[in-house]
Amino acid sequence: MPGDSEVEMGEQSIERAPTRVRKDHDERRAQILTCARALFRERPYEAVSNTEIAAAAGVSRGLLNHYFGTKRELYLAAVEQMLHVPPIPVPAYVPGASVRDRVAESIDGWLELLERNAETWLAAVERASSGGDPRLGSLLDEARERAVDRINEVVGVGALAARHPEVRAVLRGYSGLAEAVSLEWLKRGRLTRQQAQLLLEETLLHITLDVLPRLVGEPAR
């Protein structure tokens, strides 16, 4: 005959069981993705296995494969989720705030995002630059376009960009510089975060206030 404690344990396990099965598809998928992102942030792509991700998420390997298929698909989902966080958060307009204030705040927010997701970001940029993963390259290209939209908002050149396609081309070039600077900071250690901030901030201000007006023959707002 089981003792009282064994009966209580059995009752508790029966009560807890529905909690596990009540998770719907989206909730379970989000749980796996959260754990995957945490592991990809800590270590390079090659050093993380699906078995490890499944264990961290508290699911079977089979269930993980059911939701995401391969590790590559899961990694791409993690990168896509990270990149949909605004790459350059747009500060609210504050009376008295200068363009420099807005640029400094937005770049600081972008660098903070990269620092929190360094391994995922570096792996994504390097794998995309090698040309070996077209889908990953597409995800990054879409993120670059969103980054240009936000830069337009930050520095207030949206109307100018609508009239002059060269403006968007210049800002796409700036986004490439920003990616290169992030590698020098996060991977190679040849820049500090403060130096990266200074370089990106001064470059964007110079482009906005000096280069664009001369390029299109029209002053920026």
Q: What is the pLDDT of residues 70-114, one digit of tens each?
A: 998 998 888 888 777 555 556 766 677 788 998 999 899 889 989
pLDDT at 44: 81
Whether domain 4-76 has CATH 3.30.390.10: no
Domain boundaries, the chain: 4-76, 84-216
State pLDDT tens for residues 179-221.
999 999 999 999 999 999 999 999 999 999 999 999 999 876 6
Amino acid of residue 41? R
φ, ψ of residue 59 to 5 degrees: the values are -130, 170
Distance CA 186, CA 70 (A): 28
pTM: 0.70
pLDDT band at 49 (very low <50, low <70, confident <90, very high): very high
